[in-house]
Amino acid sequence: GIKIVTIGGGSSYTPELMEGFIKRYESLPLSEIWLVDIPEGKEKLETVGKMAQRMWDASPYDVTVHLSLDRREALKDADFVTTQFRVGLLDARIKDERIPLSHGFLGQETNGPGGIFKALRTIPVLLDIVEDMKELCPNAWLINFTNPSGMVTDAIVRYGKWEKVLGLCNVPVNSLINEPEMLNVGEGELTHHFAGLNHFHWHRVKDANGHDVTDQLNKQLVEDASSLPSNIFDVPFFEEQLQQMQLIPCGYHRYYYRAEEMLEHALKEYNDPEIGTRAEQVRQTEKELFELYKDEHLDHKPEQLSQRGGTHYSDVACETIASIASNKNTHVVVSTVNKGAVPDLAPDDVVEVSAYINATGAQPIAFGSLHPAERGWLQVMKNMELCVEEAAVTGDYGLLLQAFIINPLIQSGESAKQVMNELLIAHKAYLPQF
Ligand code: NAD
Ligand code: G6P
Ligand code: MN
Ligand code: MN
């Protein structure tokens, strides 16, 4: 049978992952699941681990969930390693969001200064994990969810020299699920085609007759934002811009296309002690979820988990793993090496693209060149990512400053440097490279 190891197993998202594996058990027979965490996460791991075992016990399948604080013990002979950890836990995310906001900058834990620092904390840990995998499970696939998912996947290939990795995100799958419903057509009738970067992709859609329905969907998406992940405030896109680009932007593009309004909303929540930043809101949701997980009668994923922005991530994770394991050639949107699919970026850059997934990994589908407006954004964002990754490996202060200056969500100047310095101090314990 297949052995799965999940690093960051104490995450409140784990029951969703279990549900995904239980649903697909007939096509993906697992024998062992190992949930790995660190001493700080021990209590979470035990609570969610027992919950995970109850879910399997309530299913027709005989699967044991092993809990471990010893990553190396767990990794031995793994077939798939999934990563969903948060270095520094939610306290670190609170700092990522609050420190920038205290200077009038958007925090944003994946795209803004927060995301840059999340990458700096995460990349060294992932590179260690890869070294362990080379020794203990050299044939395994690494399925990464840890954010910023695109940047860290790129760093795993570029600096870890590990090619059997796919970076995942739930944002594209939300479109794949919702758009057929929006057009009242059956699942599988539409052809979706994605390209860009994680939390910075665009897509186009064709119907069963090959007609482009992108415009029609964009018009509906401006009216109805129900497919937007719950962590993103809905400022509608400018219709004239959508009409011009002939692509559907991802939810996160709001941070760039309507930066003023997104910052205004984030500041309003930050300044209201009753609301707080998203991280503080999530802390409350997480508390409630763990209370539920402690209930020994609960043996299925609770409804409340869908309040988290990452809902549906297990559909992507489990589908990807099942497609590799049974050479299915399913269409999944993944962060993977470009190989020319997006000619506006280098062939060895990791991009987020539509790909067919089989036993060899991802076969990216050619998207073709973007128009100047999107190409400009994309090249800025990718090169910003490359600066962050290199700074994460080398601890080069000047290069990190370059990334801050390039990042479109950060207005350059003294305040930006101040935010960067404060974040370096706040996260010192998790930044061995600086
Ligand atoms: P969380 O704060 O609950 O952290 C998950 C677990 O990681 C915790 O139990 C923690 O103890 C553990 N951990 C921390 N450092 C670790 C280390 N060095 N080794 C092993 N475990 C470690 O986080 P969460 O809110 O459940 O999110 C988990 C991760 O998944 C985050 O990185 C988040 O950004 C990411 N995420 C990604 C997507 C996506 O679309 N790609 C969706 C949802 C969540
Ligand atoms: C999303 C993203 C994830 C992100 C999450 C945040 O939609 O795709 O990458 O981490 O939601 O959700 P949260 O509930 O933690 O704010
Ligand atoms: Mn994501
Ligand atoms: Mn909000």
* ipTM of the modeled complex: 0.98
The letter for the amino acid at 3 is K
- Classified as helix, coil or strand, 308 is coil
Residue 45 is encoded by which pair of tokens?
């791991």
The C-alpha atoms of residue 348 and residue 341 are separated, in whole angstroms, by 11
111 CA distance to ligand 3 middle (Å): 10
- Put simply, whether the predicted model's pTM sits higher than 0.90 gets the answer yes
Q: Is 87 in the pocket of ligand 1 (CB under 6 A)?
A: yes
- The confidence score (pLDDT) of residue 18 equals 97
Separation of CA 280 from chain center = 19
340 CA distance to ligand 4 middle (Å): 38
252 classed as catalytic: yes
Among residues 344, 343, 366, the alpha carbon closest in space to that of 355 is found at 366
Residue 124 is encoded by which pair of tokens?
């060294």
Q: Which residue in 252, 270, 293, 313 is the catalytic one?
A: 252
Residue 371 CB contacts under 8 Å (≥ 6 apart), including other chains: 245
Pocket test for ligand 1, best of 6, 7, 11, 35 (most atoms within 8 A of CB): 11
- The confidence score (pLDDT) of residue 223 equals 87
Burial class (CB in 10 A: 0-12, 13-18, 19+), 293: buried
Each residue's pLDDT expressed in tens, for the chain with a length of 434 residues: 899 999 999 999 999 999 999 999 999 999 999 999 999 999 999 999 999 999 999 999 999 999 999 999 999 999 999 999 999 999 999 999 999 999 999 988 898 999 999 999 999 999 999 999 999 999 999 999 999 999 999 999 999 999 999 999 999 999 999 999 999 999 889 999 999 999 999 999 999 999 999 999 999 998 888 788 889 999 999 999 999 999 999 999 999 999 999 999 999 999 999 999 999 999 999 999 999 999 999 999 999 998 899 888 998 999 999 999 999 999 999 999 999 999 999 999 999 999 999 999 999 999 999 999 999 999 999 999 999 999 999 999 999 999 999 999 999 999 999 999 999 999 999 999 99
- The confidence score (pLDDT) of residue 307 equals 87
169 CA distance to ligand 3 middle (Å): 4
Among residues 316, 361, 366, the alpha carbon closest in space to that of 176 is found at 316
Atom of ligand 2 nearest to the CA of 278: 16
Atom of ligand 1 nearest to the CA of 170: 40
Ligand nearest to the CA of 174: 2
Q: Is 150 in the pocket of ligand 2 (CB under 6 A)?
A: no
Pocket test for ligand 1, best of 6, 51, 68, 86 (most atoms within 8 A of CB): 86
Cβ-based neighbour number of residue 262 at 10 Å = 21
Pocket test for ligand 2, best of 308, 313, 316 (most atoms within 8 A of CB): 308
- The confidence score (pLDDT) of residue 311 equals 87
Q: Is 229 in the pocket of ligand 2 (CB under 6 A)?
A: yes
